[in-house]
Structure 1
Amino acid sequence: MNKNVTDEIKKAVEILQNGGLILYPTDTVWGIGCDATNAEAVKKVYDLKKRQDSKALICLVSNDAMLERYIEEVPDIAYDIMDLATKPTTIIYDNPKGVAKNLIANDNTLAIRVASDKFCQYLIGKFKKPIVSTSANIAGNKTPPNFEEIDKAILTGVDYVVNLKPENKNSVPSSIIKLGIDGLVKVIRE
């Protein structure tokens, strides 16, 4: 890993550890991130996006082992979906644990994606906790497809902007699939 990437990860982790917000390239679009276990940091994200906190946010984890630490029981089908997915796929799980309460939806679910790009994997791995990942836009506005279209209010509202180009030029939000304990699979966003 080059020095620039290492430096960016170090700076971003420092901000996250102090309850701050980062703007960072994810495996999909540019995301606003914070410590998913810190309720005050999560509230800052809702405030910045001008969004009601009943609308849950997505979390990124670095691997399956981290996923299993924050979900009561990961259904076997989740692994099949992740293995077969052709693009980044977020899965909504029942019974999350160990994350900020204001991150959990009213129906006791949490949307989590195992990051597929190296930068996010390294960042989350160094931070050792899930990171919130929500599109870098004000609620109700469209998701910016690239860095240049991110609203100034977002750019100035975060504590740190990661100075790296995204690995992939996907720039579309992930698919979202809801898995019920009852085995029900429902596609929320393709």
Structure 2
Amino acid sequence: MRSIIEKTKYFLKESKTILYPTDTVWGIGCDATNSDAVKKVYKLKNREESKSLIILVDSVEMLERYLKSVPKEALEYLSNTTKPTTIIYSDPINLAQNTIAGDNTIAIRIVQDEFCRNLIRKFGKPIVSTSANVSGDPTPKTFSEISAAIVNNVDYVVNLHQDSIAEKSSTIVKIDNGNVTIIRE
């Protein structure tokens, strides 16, 4: 796995797009701090930049580098769940502007998958994670369900877990002024 991580990290550092397995579904990714790379993801998905993206980090410590503050409710929620959980936070910092929603929020997940966690740790920055489909199409549950339009147009496809079936997308929770709202179970 070390050589796959090194090769994937190379593409991320070069502002390229990747197709990779996550702790939920297969994702299209790039350096979440690089607006040019993020533009490529929107183009691949045929998605408007007004729709924000999910960002993956490897730890609470990394999360803290990309938010003005981490709400205590988020830390409590995360400590009580075992499912992959994406939380929508207010006031992101140090990320590409085109990853951030118009209401100045960002969806971030502390990834649980070993490959993703090690990749992000070695890369040293968060990565984008958006489902590997063209906007409007169903989210693929397996690598073989990913359309040729995606597979053939990313810069690098990670050769790992291509025979796995995704359980489902992450739970999405919004935390705003101490209120916890479940957006997607």
Q: TM-score, normalised by structure 1?
A: 0.95
SS in 2 for 1:105: coil
1:8-157 superposed matches below 5 A: 8-157=4-153
RMSD between aligned residues: 1.3
C-alpha change, 1:166 and 1:27, in structure 2 (3 Å) is: farther
1:178-189 superposed matches below 5 A: 178-180=174-176, 182-189=177-184
Structure 1 residue 166, shift from structure 2 partner = 6.5
Segments of 4+ in structure 1 off by > 3 A?
166-171
Unaligned runs of 5+ in 2: none
1:8·1:162 contact (CA, 8 Å) conserved in 2? yes
User: What is the one-letter code of the residue matched to 2:106?
Assistant: L
1:61·1:114 contact (CA, 8 Å) conserved in 2? yes
Structure 1 residue 168, shift from structure 2 partner = 7.1
| C-alpha distance in structure 2 between counterparts of 1:166 and 1:173, whole Å | 17
Sequence identity (%)? 55
| C-alpha distance in structure 2 between counterparts of 1:111 and 1:188, whole Å | 11
C-alpha change, 1:185 and 1:35, in structure 2 (3 Å) is: same
Per-residue CA distance 1:71-93 (angstroms, 9 max, x = gap): 11100111111111231000000
| C-alpha distance in structure 1 between counterparts of 2:163 and 2:55, whole Å | 19
Corresponding residue pairs, total: 185
1:27·1:167 contact (CA, 8 Å) conserved in 2? no
1:34·1:41 contact (CA, 8 Å) conserved in 2? yes
| C-alpha distance in structure 2 between counterparts of 1:122 and 1:177, whole Å | 25
| C-alpha distance in structure 2 between counterparts of 1:25 and 1:140, whole Å | 20
SS in 1 for 2:151: helix
1:15·1:22 contact (CA, 8 Å) conserved in 2? yes
C-alpha change, 1:85 and 1:170, in structure 2 (3 Å) is: farther
Structure 1 residue 171, shift from structure 2 partner = 3.2
Q: TM-score, normalised by structure 2?
A: 0.97
Unaligned runs of 5+ in 1: none
